[in-house]
Each structure stands twice: as C-alpha cells, then as structure tokens.
Amino acid sequence: MPEKQAESTTGLRVLAMLMAVVLWGFVGISQHHLMLEVAQRRFAIGIEIKHAPPTMRLQLEPALAEVLVEGAAKEVGHLSDADLSAFVDLRFRYPLAERIPIHVSVPGGMRYQVSPEYAKAIVIPDLRVDDGDRK
C-alpha cells in the first residue's frame, strides 16, 4: 500500500510542476507582450544654454526643439514636458560655432530623435549707454 501511495503523489507532483510551468509561461508571455507595445510622442521643448560665458547675452536659433520619444507604451503615455530637457553645451565652443549640437535628456529605456539637430547661438548686443560716454 505505501508504494501505491508514493506513486500517486509522484504523479500529482509531476502534474503540479507541469501546471506551474504552463502558468509561468503564460504570465511571462503576457508581460513580454505588454513591454513590446511601443508608442511614440512628440514634444516641443525649449532649448537651454549650458556653460555660456557670463559676459555674453545669447539667444538660440531655433529656441525650441521637436523631440520624438519612443518607448514602452505605458511609460511614454505618462511622460510630460518636465521629464525631458533639451540643451546646448557651450563649454568647448569658443568662439561660437555656427552649428552647435542639441543634446536631449530623456528617461532611461527610451529612444529619441531631435529636430533640428543643431542650433546657432546669436550674441545679443548690449544697447545700454554708459554715462561715462556722455559729456
């Protein structure tokens, strides 16, 4: 009798293991499917200037960059303008280059395209009149 009971529990263990593997596979596939849903969104982001010379007033042309973000649909759906940033870095751009690359910061795991890819920094002249120049 104990041998027959051991055989029946072995069969139940094998059946339970098969059911667990099937359930694990089903959950894994449905989770993988959710991750595969890709979405895209466009944002118009103001371009910041980083490391500008303190004595220069600069303006960027263009002032906005269009950023196309692509990633998991669930994550892209929750994005806002505040989650992204676009900037030009002038640290090593003396004298100012004609074309300065626009860099974009997006949350991890997402891809992006930026348009245009370059900006131009324009020096704004200081139009204030010095009192020492007047006589």
Among residues 60, 63, 64, 74, which one has the least CA distance to residue 107?
74
Residue 101: the pLDDT is 93
Residue 82: the pLDDT is 93
Spans of the chain, pLDDT less than 50:
135
What tens digit of pLDDT does each residue of 61-74 get?
999 999 999 998 88
In whole angstroms, give the CA distance from residue 93 to residue 91: 6
**Was domain 38-123 assigned CATH 1.25.40.10?**
no
